[in-house]
Structures are given as structure tokens and as C-alpha cells.
A = this chain, B = another copy of it.
Amino acid sequence: MDLNFTTAEEEFRLKIRRFLEENLPKSGLGAGREGREDKAWLEKSKAWQRKLYESGYVALAWPKEYGGQALDPVCQTIVNDEMVRANAPYLPGGSGLGMLGPTLISWGTEEQKRRYLPKILTGEEIWCQGYSEPGSGSDLASLRTRAEIIGDEFVVNGQKVWTSGAQHADMMFCLVRTDPDAPKHRGISYILIDMHSPGITVRPLVQMTGDKGFNEVFFDNVHVPRKNLVGKLNEGWIVANATLFHERNMLGSATGSEQRFNRLLALTKKIKRGGRALTEDAVFRQRLADLEIRVEAMRFHSLRQLTDQIRGRNPGVETMINKLVGTELNHDLATAAMEAMGDYSMLAREDASVLDHGYWPYEWMFSLGLVIGGGTSHIQKNIIAERGLKMPKSR
């Protein structure tokens, strides 16, 4: 065990830190999760991703032949840490970078990798995920969007729902049913759909926050070339699970929690309770310390997993818990902030008197959305118990 970074790594850290100081977009792009539905945000943040990529700070561990740098995952961790530290804006290409990219690297054809990966890196093509359907949430494998093979095309009909960022997306990685007669997990294929194809309608859904973050996507005879199949026909479920694995780790990422804890702490130092700062309140101190302990545990937990990854160890139960623990921790952090604010927690984020720039009311709700999305906590616990602890299946 050695938590020291090499001199080269420390130099790299200083380099990205300096880069961020000098190049961080000055305004219009918050680090928060809100406001990501509008077009202006998209254009500005695409420009930001391109700049970041051109400077060598995007997906550093990806293979060189597809635009990556084949660096050690430690470098990527350093970049992530520094981005969070600098309050850098979210990248618009997140779904491509965090979910589809790693999936394609494992499962894509050479042609697919060459065609798609570079544009994920530059942010030139924005991706969205076509998984959930109105009747298929926790039971994802029951999905019914059909793709019939006609000639060398899939013809897709059906509907997806909860599609984050579909309004901005150029492409979708999508699960479709290609064999309706097979058992439900065996008739699914994983295909890549051009979102500009005729027959696609995107209709925004409004979140409880009042924002339009996700969408319904309708497919009416949408033609997709057969070469857009990832993995084998009818064997998309295994590819889908690779993507889910990456999604869940992304959602449960510890990187943001530390920043949120610091923000919570700064907030509570400013709030008065009974004439003293809330941080001097013995009861709230317990809560803060407990949250910080859990945040720190998750920080070390990701370093441990990073080390396992470098050592080539297959992820086990310690990785399956990330999504459950990480998203619940973030919701607990936001709930604590709401309670800390007292009556001020009743203000909407648009109010002029709202504390901490209205960060928390949105975060409080959105973090609960993430406890639900990508497999609710109930589903995560099933997975942990059945796959991680080998407890008997019940379904």
C-alpha cells in the first residue's frame, strides 16, 4: 500500500490543474446538474469538451488507435479529481464516454470502434441510452421495442422512456427485441441508432424538479443498418449488462460526494442555530461527521477498486455496491443540507433569497432520482445478494 503518486503523476496533476485554472469557461456553464436541457448549454459544453480533448484530458486510458492515450487509469482519476476540485462543468458526451465507449472497446467490431470512439472523445457525436420502456423498468429484459430484420437493415418500432439527453443526442445505444419467441433474456439485441433517422420522435418529460431532463422516444419504422449491431444477434443482454455495469459505477461515483460534503460543510458554517454556527451544534456535528466518514470510506473504496483494476483483478461484490451506496449517500448529503437550511429550505432555487445559489433543492430531488435511475436501490440489493453473496434467486 502506497498512496503516494509518482513524480510524473504529480506533475500531470499540476498540469491539468493549471490548465483548468486558465481555461475553465467563465460563465454560463454551471457544475451543477441543472440546466442541461437547453441548446445553448449543449453548444457551449461541446466546445468545452473539444478543448479538453484537444488538450489531452479526455478518456486518457482509451486505446491510442481510437483517439485515446492508453494511459494508466490513475491519470484518469487525477483528471476526474481535478475537474471536481475546479468545479468544472459536466461533459455533454458523458453517456458516450462513461457507458457506450467502454462497452464498445470490449464488444464492438473494429469498424464500430473506428467509426464511433473518436467522435465520442471530441464530443462531436452525443449519445443517449435506449433501455427503459414504459412497461420495462426494473424488469428491463421484458422490453418490447421490436427490431425486424429486413434485408440488411433492422426496422425498429416501439418506445423508450426516461431517455436522458435524447433531445441533444446524435446517436442512441439501444436494446431491441429481435426474437419475440425466445425467453426474454435471449431475444434481445444491442444496436446503435442514428437519432436523426426518419421515424424518430423525441418528446420531453418533465422531472419533479420542473426541468426537462429526460424524454420519451418513439420509433416508427426506423431503419438501422445491420452493421450497427453490437455483439451477436439475440445476445444483446450480455452487452447491455456491460453498459449497466459502467453506468452504475458512474452513478455511484465517489468523486462528487466529497465535493458535496465540502459544500455542505461550508454552508453549515454560515448557518446560525441558537446564536451559534450550526457546525457548533453537537447534534449536527454528529451528522456531519457521520456523512464525512461515509464519504471518505467511498473515496478510499474507489481507490481500492482502481488499484484492483490496475492489478487486473475482476470486480466482485465490492463493485456491485457502488451504485447503491453512492447514490444513497448523495441523497443523504442533500437531505442534510435541506435540514440545515431550516425555513430557507422551503424556497425554490429561483428565489433571490435562496441559500447557496439554490444548489440544494435541485440536488435533493435529483439525487433521489439517481437512487431510482439505473436500477433502483431495491434492484441493486437483489443484484448484490444474488450475484455478490450468491444467495438463491427468488424470481
Q: Give A382 Cβ to nearest chain B Cβ, in Å.
A: 14
Q: Which of under 10, 10 to 19, 20 to 34, or 35 or more describes the interface residues of A?
A: under 10
Is A282 an interface residue when CB atoms closer than 8 A count as contact? yes
B-contact 0/1 string along A275-295, CB 8 Å cutoff: 000000111001000000000
**What's the Cα separation between A310 and B115 when bound, in Å?**
78
A282 / chain B contacts, CB cutoff of 8 Å:
281-283
Residues of B near A286 (CB, < 8 A) are 283
Contacts of A283 in B (CB 8 A): 282-283, 286
**Which residue of chain B has its CB nearest to the CB of A394?**
B394
CA–CA, A286 to B285, complex, Å?
13
Q: Report 5 cross-chain contacts, Cβ distance below 8 Å, ordered by A residue.
A: A281-B282, A282-B282, A282-B283, A283-B283, A283-B286
Residues of chain B within 8 A of A281, CB atoms compared: 282
- Find residues 257-286 in chain A having any chain B CB closer than 8 Å to their own CB: 281-283, 286
**How close is A10's CB to chain B, nearest CB, in angstroms?**
41
Interface residues of A in 278-337 (CB under 8 A from B): 281-283, 286
A274 to chain B, nearest CB (A): 11
Complex CA–CA separation, A281 to B282 (angstroms): 9
Instruction: Please name the residue on chain B nearest to A282 by beta carbon.
Output: B282
What residue of chain B has the Cβ atom nearest to residue A285's Cβ? B283
In the complex, what distance in Å separates the CA atom of A103 from the CA atom of B308? 61
| Alpha-carbon gap, A283 to B287, bound state (A) | 10
Which residues of chain A (204-258) have a CB below 8 Å from chain B?
A: none
Query: In this complex, which of A281, A283, A286 has the most chain B Cβ atoms within 10 angstroms of its Cβ?
Result: A283
A17–chain B nearest beta-carbon distance, Å:
39
CA distance A379 to B281 in the complex (A): 40
Which B-chain residue is minimally distant from A286 (CB atoms)?
Answer: B283
| Closest chain B CB from A385 CB (angstroms) | 14
Give chain B nearest CB distance to A327 CB in angstroms. 24
Measured CB to CB, the closest approach of chain B to A376, in angstroms, equals 17
Nearest-Cβ distance from residue A278 to partner chain B, whole angstroms:
13
Write the nearest CB–CB distance from A336 to chain B, whole angstroms: 15
| Alpha-carbon distance between A282 and B286 when the two chains are bound, in angstroms | 10
What's the minimum C-beta distance from A12 to chain B, rounded to whole angstroms? 44
Q: With both chains docked as a complex, state the minimum distance between the C-beta of A251 and any C-beta of chain B, in angstroms.
A: 28
Q: What's the minimum C-beta distance from A392 to chain B, rounded to whole angstroms?
A: 15
Which B residue's beta carbon lies closest to that of A281? B282
Q: When chains A and B are docked, how far (Å) is the Cα of A283 from the Cα of B290?
A: 13
User: What's the least CB distance linking A49 to chain B, in Å?
Assistant: 47
Q: How many whole Å from A140's CB to the nearest CB in chain B?
A: 21
CA distance A251 to B217 in the complex (A): 54
Bound Cα distance from A125 to B149, whole angstroms: 80
**Among all A-B residue pairs, the 3 with the closest Cβ atoms:** A282-B282, A282-B283, A283-B286
Complex Cα spacing A286 to B283, Å: 8
